[in-house]
A = this chain, B = another copy of it.
Amino acid sequence: MSLVVATLGSHSALQILKGARDEGLPNVVVAEAGRDRLYRRYGFVDEVIAVPRYADFPALADDLRARGAVMVPHGSFVAYLGEDENARMRVPYYGNRGVLRWEGNRHLQRDWLVRAGIPVPAEYARPDEVDAWPVMLKTFGAAGGAGYFLAPNRGALERRVAALDGAPYTLQQYVVGVTLYIHYFQSVVHDRLEILSMDRRYETNADGLGRLPHAIQAGLDPHPSYVVVGNSPLVLRESMLEEAYQMGERVVRASRALVDARGQWGPFCLETIITPDLRFHVIEISCRIVAGTNLFVDGSPYAALWFDEPMSTGRRIARELREATAAGRLADVVDLGPLATPGGHP
> Which A residues are within 8 Å of any B CB, using their own CB?
10-14, 18, 34-35, 37-38, 41-42, 44, 76, 133-134, 144, 150, 152, 176-180, 192, 198, 200, 202-225, 227-242, 245, 273-276, 278, 291, 294-306, 310
Contact = CB atoms under 8 A, between A and B. Distances in A.
Q: Which of A10, A224, A276, A291 has the most CB of B within 10 A?
A: A276
B298 A42 contact: no
A297 B304 contact: yes
B218 A294 contact: no
Within the oligomer, what is the number of copies of this chain?
Answer: 3
A242 B305 contact: no
A242 B214 CA distance: 36
5 contacts: A38-B238, A76-B239, A232-B232, A297-B302, A298-B301
Given A206-B211, A213-B224, A237-B291, 10 more contacts: A11-B238, A18-B304, A134-B212, A152-B216, A209-B213, A227-B278, A230-B237, A296-B301, A297-B302, A298-B303
Contacts of A273: 208
Nearest to A39: B242
Contacts of A299: 298
Contacts of A14: 238, 241, 305
A286 to B, nearest CB: 15
B236 A229 contact: yes
B208 A179 contact: yes
Contact of A235 (B180, B216, B294): B294
A332 to B, nearest CB: 22
A200 B233 CA distance: 12
A242 B298 contact: no
A41 to B, nearest CB: 7
Contacts of A242: 34-35, 37-38
B219 A217 contact: no
Nearest to A234: B230
A279 to B, nearest CB: 10
Contact of A210 (B133, B211, B231, B240): B211
Contacts of A206: 211
Given A176-B212, A215-B152, A294 B238 contact: yes
A260 to B, nearest CB: 27
Contact of A213 (B42, B203, B222): B222
